[in-house]
Structure 1
Amino acid sequence: MAELVYRPVIGAALTLFKALDLKIDTQGSENIPRTGGAVLVSNHISYLDFIFSGLGALPQKRLVRFMAKDSVFRHKISGPLMRGMKHIPVDRKRGEAAYAHALDSLRSGEIIGVFPEATISESFTLKSFKSGAARMAQEAGVPLIPMALWGTQRIWTKGRPRNFGRNHIPVTIRVGEPMDAPTDEFAGAITRRLRGRVQELLEAAQRAYPVRPKNAEDTWWIPAHLGGSAPTPAQVREAG
């Protein structure tokens, strides 16, 4: 089936990233299966994460259908694009329909993208994972693909102004090896293992990141445990 919206959107995004002179470093794309269904699971630190997660699958010529909150689909600009790219709206009060839609897509050979933290992590550390990704992989009989993003928070994240200037921001993408989701194992146990793998990839992406702030004012995007001035997870919870 022709992708009348998705591929032009990818082209527009790549053109924008080139204009912004983003330095995108991707490793592990060979772990994305060339055919068949899979659940792609990433950390969530930016409003643009679905774009960069999708870029991680492009070398394998795969398009990712992301599950996203339904309000994005109701927006006058993003809505038509999200629907045209065949992403999956999630109404948190009636999540069964989105879950069934995702299962059908997985069984038909699609890659479904999931952010199991559900919302952006304002501490830029991993929050707890919901078990939906593991359960979908179990029911559809497909692998889980862990992924980690770093640097995307410097472009556009919650509580910060957008940075769409030509600031040469590096973005690091790491894709891990596929993980099985056995049906005879509890989804919670698979989810814990999956979170651990994403954590390993995130730490690898952070170590590889080529920018080190020159002054204290520019450490807002670095987690507190790494010496930055981002709020701790506890501070985020207290503020919320």
Structure 2
Amino acid sequence: MAELVYPPVVLAAKTAFRLLDLKLDVRGTEHIPAAGGAVIACNHVSYLDFLFCGLGAQPAKRLVRFMAKREIFANRVAGPLMRGMHHISVDRAAGAESYRAALEALKGGEVVGVFPEATISRSFTVKEIKSGAARMAAEAGVPLIPMALWGTQRMWTKGRDRELTKRHVPITVLAGAPMHPTTDDDMDAVTEDLRGRMSALLDTIQRDYPDEPAGPDDRWWLPAHLGGTAPTPEAAAELDRRKPE
């Protein structure tokens, strides 16, 4: 397919990252296949995650087709860009069509990006995840690659003001070894395994993160189990029930 939009967007994003002097640490890129279909399953802590998750596929010269809620496609600015980059619109009330579109892309050799938590995690831990990523990988016969990122929440996340011009923020992206689910597997077990792998990757990059909060009021971007003031997973789940995205 013609790529008239995606390459300029990638170039613009990389230019912005340089101007902001973001401290990018992208690891595990050897796990992204240079050809053929694959599903990337990434944690979700920020509205900017798709930009940085896609960086994990750049060394393999792959463009990731992200599954994103249809409301983004309806936006007069973001919509044309999303369609031009051949991302996949998701209607949460009727997901069969988007699932078929993702499956078709995978069978056509594309890399599809999924945030299986479905919404941003307010606790900055990995929430319960949906089984769609595992099912798609199994049905398409492609690898399922767990990924975690950290630091993006400091620029724009749920319940906080945007700080898109924030400089010198460390951003870490870590891809893990691929899984190879099949249609004979128990998808609930595969999904739980995927969540465990995503959580382990996230734990690694959270604990290795090279920056600390500037003071007590800046501890909001750390999860509670690391001494931050983000909601616990239980409190975050209650917030999601009362204030759904």
* TM-score scaled by length of structure 1: 0.98
1:214 deviation in Å?
3.8
- 1:135 alignment partner in structure 2: 135
Q: Which amino acid aligns with 2:5?
A: V
Which ranges of structure 2 fall in alignment gaps of 5 or more residues?
Answer: none
| Alignment-derived partner of residue 95 in structure 1 | 95
Say which is worse superposed, 206-215 or 62-71, in terms of deviation.
Answer: 206-215
Closer/same/farther in 2, CA of residues 159 and 54 from structure 1, 3 Å limit: same
Shift of 1:162: 1.1
Cα deviation code 1:191-236 (max 9, x no counterpart): 0111111111101111221001242111000001110011112212
Retained in 2: the 8 A contact 1:20–1:164?
no
* Structure 2 counterpart of 1:232: 232
More off after superposition, 119-128 vs 203-212: 203-212
State whether residues 134 and 144 of structure 2, in contact with CA within 8 Å, keep that contact through their aligned partners in structure 1.
Answer: yes
Q: Is the 8 A contact 2:155 2:166 kept in 1?
A: no
Q: Which amino acid is the alignment partner of residue 99 of structure 1?
A: Y
The equivalent residue for 2:159 is 159
Question: Do 1:19 and 1:166's aligned partners in 2 also have CA atoms closer than 8 Å?
Answer: no
Shift of 1:102: 0.5
Partner of 2:172: 172
Question: How far apart, in 2, do the equivalents of 1:106 and 1:238 lie?
Answer: 35
Calculate the aligned-residue CA RMSD, in Å: 0.9
- Aligned partner of 2:181 in structure 1 is 181
2:90 matched to 1:123? no
Q: What is the CA distance between 1:178 and its match in structure 2?
A: 0.8
- Within the alignment, does 1:14 sit opposite 2:11 as a pair? no
Runs of at least 4 residues off by over 4 Å: none
Q: 2:123, 2:233 within 8 Å by CA — same for their partners in 1? A: yes
The alpha-carbon deviation at position 164 of structure 1 amounts to 2.2
1:194 aligns to 2:184 (yes or no)? no
Instruction: List per-residue Cα deviations over 1:101-146 (Å, max 9, x = no partner).
Output: 0001000100000000000001111100100001101110111011
SS in structure 1 of the partner of residue 171 of structure 2: strand
Q: Look up the equivalent residue of 1:81 and give its one-letter code.
A: L
CA distance in 2 between counterparts of 1:224 and 1:37 reads: 37
Task: State the alpha-carbon separation in 2 of the partners of residues 85 and 236 from structure 1.
Answer: 32
The 3-state SS of whatever aligns with 2:25 is: strand
Look up the SS of the partner of 1:231 in the other structure: coil
1:149 is displaced (CA, Å) by 0.3
1:182 deviation in Å? 2.1
Unaligned runs of 5+ in 1: none
Aligned-pair CA distance for 1:166: 4.4
Query: Cα deviations across residues 150-174 of structure 1 (Å, max 9, x unaligned)?
Result: 0000011111111123420000000
Equivalence for 2:78: 78
The separation in 2 between residues aligned to 1:5 and 1:214, in whole angstroms, is 38
Q: What one-letter code is carried by the residue in structure 2 that aligns with 1:103?
A: L
One-letter amino acid of the counterpart of residue 201, structure 1:
L
The amino acid across from 1:203 in the alignment is: D
1:114 equivalent to 2:123? Answer no
Alpha-carbon contact 1:73-1:89 (below 8 Å) kept: yes
Alignment deviations for residues 74-101 of structure 1 (CA, whole Å, 9 cap, x no partner): 0000000000000000011111100000
Letter in 2 for 1:227: G
Give the conservation status (yes or no) of the 8 Å contact 2:224–2:232. Answer: yes
1:39-68 alpha-carbon deviations (Å, 9 max, x no partner): 000000000001100011001000000000
Note if 1:46 corresponds to 2:46.
yes
- More displaced 10-residue stretch of structure 1: 105-114 or 199-208: 199-208
Aligned residue for 1:56, secondary structure, equals helix
Letter in 2 for 1:149: L
